[in-house]
Structure formats: structure tokens, C-alpha cells
Amino acid sequence: MSRQNVKPVLLSHEQIKALGEIREQHRKASSVGVAPTIHEIARGLIDKALESLSDGAKA
């Protein structure tokens, strides 16, 4: 089994609730009622935030 390079991140109750709401929006938009996991949504948001920070540093 390969070892994943991940670390846990603690989120507030409000942050988890907001991620759940985003997940529900994805589920409603899906024709088959599927949605990404809260972990996938959180990773995607963090990736976008980090990308925007690095784009700002280049300007």
C-alpha cells in the first residue's frame, strides 16, 4: 500500500457547514444526484486560494 502525503486540517463548525452546503448544491445540480466529498471540495478551494496567492505574487 502506498503512503499518501496528506495532513489533517481542523475546520470550524461553520466551515464544515458551508462545505456541506456547497456539496448539496453540487448534488442538486447533478442529474444523478451525486456530489464530491467535503474533503474534495475543501482541497479544491484551498488549491484555488493558493493559486490566486501565487498569481498575485507574480504581478
pLDDT at 3: 72
Q: DSSP secondary-structure letter at 3?
A: P
Question: Can you tell me the distance from the alpha carbon of 52 to that of 21, in angstroms, rounded to the nearest whole number?
Answer: 23
Amino acid at 54: S
| Local confidence pLDDT in tens for the 59 residues of the chain | 567 888 899 999 999 999 999 999 999 999 999 999 999 999 999 999 999 999 877 76
Predicted TM-score (pTM) of the model is 0.79
> What contacts 38, CB < 8 A, 6 or more positions away?
16, 19, 20, 23
* Alpha carbon distance, N-terminus to C-terminus of the chain: 42
pLDDT at 56: 76
Domain locations along the chain:
19-28+35-57
pLDDT at 59: 62
